[in-house]
Amino acid sequence: MLYRIAYVIHHRLCLRPGRPTSHAQVVIVGAYRNGGAGKTPFCIWLANKLCDHGKKVAVLCHAAAQDEAKLLKNKLPRCTVLATRNRYTAAHKLDPDFDIILCDDGFEDSRLQFAKAICLEWDDEPHGIADLFPAGRARSLVKDHKNITLRLKCAGTTPDVRFCIQQIRNAQGNAPEAPVTLVVGIGDPERFFGDMEHTGLQIHKALALRDHDKGIENIVSKLLAGGQNVVTTEKDACRLSPDSTAHAKLFVAVQSVDVTPEAETRIMALLS
């Protein structure tokens, strides 16, 4: 209840709807989940699609998520990637120079009410206070978001967007052959662990750290020094040292984003 009261007061006093951009189209990729919805990999997919259509794209992420910023820069050489604590101000500064300003999250910033919001839905939308952070997985309720332009299903038997493990390789291009230890610091580690089980790999242990955990390097380096095969995500690998990422026993799981043709048509029609 205290979290909910603080949330409402903060938005009414500090995050009032702001003025729209004059040139660039602002697009938010968000989700009700506090983390682990697939926003960053979907932003990478969408930014590449927009670049393929000749759009000049900037991508905004939060300054606290330096691993996401590094991953976005690695994956999006055709885009300008900016880590910022104020997406609203950054969007207006970039406005004259870009066609699309894509926000990796920003779902809770009601100053961006003018933006087109794409919501990744996992069939666990929050409707009551018990669903809210820190007790639950979400930061806000369904009723807080009346400006969602497009909803994309990510769960169920016929999702619009499917996230899959495409490959697991070390720096030398080899796949793991012996039992592995999973080490991740992401929003939804259990979903990643489940995806890894479906790959058929023999899993020795699974370690779940806090999202963006800066201590992952110490843990991984010790496991590697002990001769263990370690598997982590692309985002987590961005927080590791060059020595760790180059190690023959460090393997990175590369995620693919599969969007149905019908959903892709709806997305591109929205942003044309």
pLDDT digits (tens, 9 = 90+) for 50-104: 999 999 999 999 999 999 999 999 999 999 999 999 999 999 999 999 999 999 9
Share of the chain above pLDDT 70, in %: 100
* Of 107, 134, 158, the domain-final residue: 158
Residue 266 domain flag? no
What's residue 143's pLDDT? Answer: 94
Assess whether pLDDT exceeds 90 at residue 9: yes
Residues 14 and 89 in one domain: yes
Same domain, 8 and 90: yes
Q: What is the pLDDT of residues 106-152, one digit of tens each?
A: 999 999 999 999 999 999 999 999 999 888 889 999 999 988 999 99
DSSP letter string, the chain = -HHHHHHHHHHHHT----PPPSSSEEEEEE-SBSS-S-HHHHHHHHHHHHHHTT--EEEEEETT-HHHHHHHHHH-TTSEEEEES-HHHHHHHHGGG-SEEEEES-TT-GGGTTSEEEEEE-S----SGGGBTTTSSBSS-GGG---EEEEEE-SSSS-SEEEEEEEEE-TTSPPP-S-EEEEE-SS-HHHHHHHHHHTTPPEEEEEE--TT-TTHHHHHHHHHHTT-EEEEEHHHHTTS-HHHHT-TTEEEEEEEEEE-HHHHHHHHHHT-
Structural domain range at position 170: 162-258
Q: What is the mean pLDDT of residues 184-200?
A: 93
Together in a domain, 32 and 129: yes
**23 belongs to a structural domain:** yes
**Average pLDDT across the chain, whole number:** 95
* pTM for the structure as a whole: 0.95
